[in-house]
Structure formats: structure tokens, C-alpha cells
């Protein structure tokens, strides 16, 4: 999976929610498979930081600054995020969901 322009992926998380580690592992798998991206990690450790970032739960994956799984109804704060996956609810987007999200992101040429 390669593209002309390197994706900028940001994984926002907080330590009390272990699901960010699953998301990080999925992202590493995609990089190993050839996804042309850089990954940055942002620890959100206070409610004030959550508000400042618009953080709607851990883990939040941003692709070029956009949350492909955004739910505007989700509250801002320090909580574990829940994702609807092909296998039911989970604490992280699945590998196929991440692949699809990256494939569908608009790209500048």
C-alpha cells in the first residue's frame, strides 16, 4: 500500500486506556506493509488538554489532521473510545477499517 504523498498519522491517547496500544500495533503493521506514513503520538493527560485537542477518547487516530472515525456526538474528555467494527464493538479501529480509512483519505498531488 503506497501513495505519492506521505500521510501524517497522529495517535492521540491517554495512559489509563490500554486500547491505544492495539491501535499503535495496527498502525505499525500498516507501515510494515508499505503504508507511506509517519506516526506521531500525543499523550492527552488532563481534561484541559482533552478540551484543547477536541479529544473524544482514546485512541483517536488522525490522518492528516482528520479523524476518519469522527463522532460529533461523542463527549470530549478522558475516556476509552468505542469503535463499531466488523466483529462488533472494540476499543480500537480494526486493521481493515484503518486500511479503508487511509485509502479513502483525499490526497493532494
Nearest to 14 by CA among 43, 41, 39, 40: 43
| Element counts in the chain: helices (H) and strands (E) | 3, 5
Q: Please give the model's pTM, rounded to 2 decimal places.
A: 0.88
User: How many CA atoms are closer than 13 Å to the CA of 44, on its beta-carbon side?
Assistant: 27
In order of their start, the domains of the chain are: 7-104 (3.40.30.10)
Q: What is the predicted pLDDT for the residue at 22?
A: 96
In whole angstroms, give the CA distance from residue 46 to residue 50.
6
pLDDT, one tens digit for every residue, the chain (109 residues): 444 578 899 999 999 999 999 999 999 999 999 999 999 999 999 999 999 999 999 999 999 999 999 988 889 999 999 999 999 999 999 999 999 998 887 665 5
Amino acid at each position: 500500500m503506497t501513495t505519492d504523498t506521505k500521510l501524517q498519522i497522529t495517535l492521540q491517547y491517554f495512559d489509563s486506556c490500554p486500547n491505544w496500544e492495539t491501535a499503535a500495533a495496527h498502525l505499525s503493521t500498516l507501515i510494515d506493509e508499505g503504508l507511506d506514513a509517519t506516526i506521531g503520538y500525543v499523550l492527552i493527560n488532563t481534561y484541559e488538554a482533552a478540551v484543547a485537542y477536541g479529544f473524544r477518547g482514546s485512541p483517536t487516530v488522525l490522518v492528516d489532521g482528520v479523524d476518519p472515525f469522527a463522532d460529533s456526538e461523542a463527549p470530549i474528555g478522558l475516556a476509552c473510545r468505542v469503535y463499531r467494527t466488523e466483529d462488533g464493538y472494540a476499543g480500537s479501529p480494526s486493521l481493515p477499517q484503518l486500511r479503508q480509512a487511509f485509502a479513502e483519505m483525499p490526497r493532494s498531488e
